Amino acid sequence: MPSLPSPENITRVELPNGSVVLVYENHASPSVIVRGHLRAGSLFDPDDLPGVAAFTAEVVERGTESRSFQDIAEETESVGAAVGVGAGVHLVGFSAKGLSEDLKLLLEILSDILQHPTFPKDEIERVRGEILTSLREREDSTGAMAQLAFRALAYPKHPYGRDSLGTLASVSAIKRKDLMQFYRQYYRPQGMQIAVVGDVNASAVVALARKYFGKWNVKGMPPSFAIPPVKPLNKLKRKHIKMKNKIQSDVIFGAPALPRTHPDFLAAEMADVILGEFGMMGRLGDNVRDRLGLAYYARTQLEGAPGPGAWSAYAGVNPQNVDTAVEAMLSELRRIQDEPVSNEELDDVKDYATGIQPLRLESNDGIAAALLDMEFYNLGLDYLQRLPSLVRAVTPEQVQSAAQKYLNTETYALVVAGP
């Protein structure tokens, strides 16, 4: 039986062009996943043109010097494989999943997409129409509109508050040269990280990675990846997005918290598990769903990001119950600040946080995500071995103090989207 991914069984190679390749062999199923990322997310969108990063990521897979979009789709799908590229806030992620017998094809096509895209005009127009349609669909979704407005309120004039997908106006205005310029500036091997997990031979994978990605060189240094400082909110900000045709309201409130690499992050994460995850959606689920019967979902989320991600609570409730639900959620947030968690409750949560690891690492996708996480945040390849003792060392005082410091129950941003 394979053990957890560790420095002994992960192959890690730095290519001369500044990219890193991680390989983990898992022979349980005849499949393989390739997952990786570049530093080209919406963080780098020009202020006056939101949506360029997301648009660029969609178009790079739409044609290369030697393949049309339909060639790429046919070559991959005819063997049951899929490739994809998509932008997040910090990173552009790419992935390819297929049967392990087709690994060479997957790496060849991924390298072709990333290194030789041609930005065909007709494909740009296709993608533009698809993005505009999803922007319109989003305007009719209470959950998506609440999230969007929350980010704008919680992170004023900060890239974390921006709309990654862009606006109807910006997406309509983006030109081919904007996409090509964004590509030239940000798509480069320096800082690229690739994980390959599945029914493969590690040294053969490294040789293939060298062949397909080793010759990629882009002059100059990659742009700074520094996250601008976040100003704490100085007062409670509320917003109601009126959506008269809806039956249910989505409510979300919260504020910027702390970066993933902050020494307090693990204690904050434990507080978050207690509030919104352990059991059925934690203390919030217990109170708002199980006791009050107000909502199908009510939980918290602490984002792990290079900068201070948001710590928020959210629920979907009947419009007449919005205030009651918010009060109930706030009372749980205040309780974890006012009362230390018992040793017994914290021990249960520690058992969960350590015990759930084998389940998260059951599939190739889960292992690849863990490898990239360790690499991106410099956690060390022995992080999964160290994690249990790190978790065990967290004290009730640390959990309470992280909740007091980073869970903002006074000057937060609150958005309701619904009737």
Partner 1 sequence: MNAVTHHTLPNGLTVLLQEQHAAPVTTAWTFYRVGARNEVSGITGASHWVEHMMFKGTPKFGKGVIDVLTSKNGGYNNGLTDLDYTCYLFTLPSERIQLALDILADLMANATFDADEVESERTVIISEREGNENNPAYQLYEEVNATAYHVHPYHQPVIGWQSDLRAMTRDDLFRHYRTYYAPNNAIVVVVGDFETNAMMQQVEQYFGAFQGKSSQPSVRSVEPPQESERRVLLEKAGTTAYFRAVYHTPEATHADMPALIMLDSILSGGKGMSFFGGGVGLNKSSRLYRALVESELAADVSSGYGFNHDPSLFEVGATVREGRSLQEVEDAVFAELERIADKSPKPAELAKAVKQTRAQFAYATERVSSVAYLLGVLECIHSYNDLNIFTERLAAVTPQDVQRVAQTYLKKSNRTVGWFNPVVSSQ
Which residues between 366 and 385 bind partner 1 (CB under 8 A)? none
DSSP 360-413: HTSSHHHHHHHHHHHHHTT--TTHHHHHHHHHHT--HHHHHHHHHHH--SSS-E
If one asks whether residue 103 binds partner 1 (CB under 8 A), the answer comes out as no
x/- letters, 319..338, toward partner 1 (CB under 8 A): --------------------
Output the smallest distance, CB 297 to partner 1, in A.
8
161 and 152 Cβ atoms separated by less than 8 Å? yes
Q: Tell me which amino acid residue 328 is.
A: A
Output the smallest distance, CB 58 to partner 1, in A.
12
Taking CB under 8 A as the criterion, the residue among 46, 104, 130, 156 binding partner 1 is: 130
**Cβ closer to partner 1: 78 or 234?**
78
Q: Is 218 exposed, middle or buried (0-12, 13-18, 19+ CB in 10 A)?
A: middle
Taking CB under 8 A as the criterion, the residue among 7, 139, 157, 169 binding partner 1 is: 139
If one asks whether residue 16 binds partner 1 (CB under 8 A), the answer comes out as no
The kind and range of the H/E element at 195 are strand 193-198
Taking CB under 8 A as the criterion, the residue among 137, 338, 339, 397 binding partner 1 is: 137
Question: Residue by residue, what is the 3-state secondary structure of 21-43?
Answer: EEEEECCCCCEEEEEEEECCCHH
Give CA 238 to chain center in angstroms: 26
DSSP designation for 100: G
Classify the phi-psi angles of 190: left when phi > 0, otherwise alpha if psi is within -120 to 50, otherwise beta. beta
> For partner 1, how many residues bind (rule: CB under 8 A)?
74
Output the smallest distance, CB 249 to partner 1, in A.
9
Taking CB under 8 A as the criterion, the residue among 54, 57, 284, 294 binding partner 1 is: 294
**Cβ closer to partner 1: 52 or 325?**
325
Q: Tell me which amino acid residue 156 is.
A: P
If one asks whether residue 270 binds partner 1 (CB under 8 A), the answer comes out as no
Taking CB under 8 A as the criterion, the residue among 5, 98, 222, 308 binding partner 1 is: 98
Per CB under 8 A, contacts with partner 1 among 144-203 are none
Give the range of 151-159, 185-193, 213-221, 312-320 binding partner 1 by CB under 8 A.
Answer: 312-320
Which residues on adjacent β-strands are paired with residue 68? 63
If one asks whether residue 126 binds partner 1 (CB under 8 A), the answer comes out as yes
314 vs 171: CA distance, rounded Å? 29
Taking CB under 8 A as the criterion, the residue among 148, 317, 384, 391 binding partner 1 is: 317
Taking CB under 8 A as the criterion, the residue among 56, 111, 164, 364 binding partner 1 is: 364
Taking CB under 8 A as the criterion, the residue among 6, 79, 167, 338 binding partner 1 is: 79
163 vs 100: CA distance, rounded Å? 37
Taking CB under 8 A as the criterion, the residue among 7, 228, 355, 380 binding partner 1 is: 355
Those residues whose C-beta lies under 8 Å from the C-beta of residue 15, and which sit 6 or more positions away, are: 21, 189, 209, 210, 213, 214
